[in-house]
Amino acid sequence: MPLDTALNANAVTATLNYLRRTPDQAERPHSFAYAPKNGMPRTNMVAEPHELPIHDIHAEDRAFSLNREGFTVVTHQSAVTDFANETQIRDLYYPEAERLLKQVTGADRVVIFDHTLRRRILCLEDNRAGPRQPATRVHVDHTAKSGPQRVRDLLPDEAEELLAGRLQVINIWRPINHPVYDAPLAVADASSVPFSDLVPADLIYPNRVGETYSLIFNPVHRWYYVKEQRPDEVLLLKCYDSRTDVARFTPHGSFLVPDALPEAPTRESIELRTFVFHKA
């Protein structure tokens, strides 16, 4: 049963895909970030759908914070006029994002190490050769192991000095071109997710193996989204924090709005993955 029925008045009931986990499952969960040539399936993970209330952040009478819930929403107008233009993304959007994160977190340094464009295309499987489809299984991008390891991978000469201070891995998620009507991003209140519900899973690339968390179902999880999120509404969500007294891992995943109008444009979005460093 919901922990607080008063919250449900402003919630949409929709499907979130968890990891189906059985006690006798021996094989470690894994997915390939590419199509294996030996005919192996892309993943051994099986989705377990659950119909859950997902609460509209707009309707809440409180603020959400990166330290407490693991996410927050800020208003920010970008100077980018064409998110299909890679040069604009790197020359305009990256510096904007760095400034925004420093302002919100008080960080000493921000390093953007990845970005992904997504566009929902009906009846098409995810395709890494072009714009990605929304990620439909709830997950966390980094783990207690892979957060620091990614710094060592990408900033090897500075890693140990940087890791002596506080490290956060924060994603910046923004709709582009129009609001999101059909496939918004759901984020869990990290304080409602016991660490035991997070299951390490391998993400296999041609040249390395990363690690993410999948999520097993627990009725105490609380989920939120931004209804019809606008391009100037930016969702910041934390995928790792080296501090252990704050929210550290924020599960998230896309869901389909049950009553979305069929003529509405489908979701388009951009997400940045960033290291946020604080000196020791």
Q: In DSSP terms, which residues pair with 209 in a beta bridge?
A: 204
Residue 6 lies in a domain: no
> Which helix (H) or strand (E) covers residue 27, if one does?
none
pLDDT in tens, the chain (280 residues): 344 445 556 789 999 999 998 665 678 999 998 888 888 898 999 999 999 999 999 999 889 999 999 999 999 999 999 999 999 999 999 999 999 999 999 999 999 999 999 998 766 655 555 568 788 899 999 999 999 999 999 999 999 999 999 999 999 999 999 999 999 999 999 999 999 999 999 999 999 999 999 999 999 999 999 999 999 999 999 999 999 999 999 999 999 999 899 899 999 999 999 999 999 8
Strands 198-204 and 30-32 come out as parallel
104 alpha carbon, distance to own chain's centre: 18
Residue 243 lies in a domain: yes
Instruction: Tell me the C-alpha distance between 192 and 33, whole Å.
Output: 29
Residue 54 lies in a domain: yes
Residue 224 lies in a domain: yes
H helices present in 22-155, as ranges: 86-88, 94-105, 146-154
Q: Which phi-psi region, left, alpha or beta, contains residue 39 (left: φ > 0; alpha: ψ -120 to 50)?
A: left
Structural domains in the chain (count): 1
Residue 1 lies in a domain: no
Lateral strand order in the sheet of 185-188: 11-19, 47-56, 223-225, 185-188, 252-254, 139-140, 209-215, 198-204, 30-32
What pLDDT, on the 0 to 100 scale, is given for residue 1?
A: 34
Structural domain range at position 123:
12-21+29-35+43-258+266-278
Among residues 38, 49, 19, the alpha carbon closest in space to that of 200 is found at: 19
What pLDDT, on the 0 to 100 scale, is given for residue 247?
A: 98
What pLDDT, on the 0 to 100 scale, is given for residue 108?
A: 97
Residue 7 lies in a domain: no
The model's pTM is: 0.92
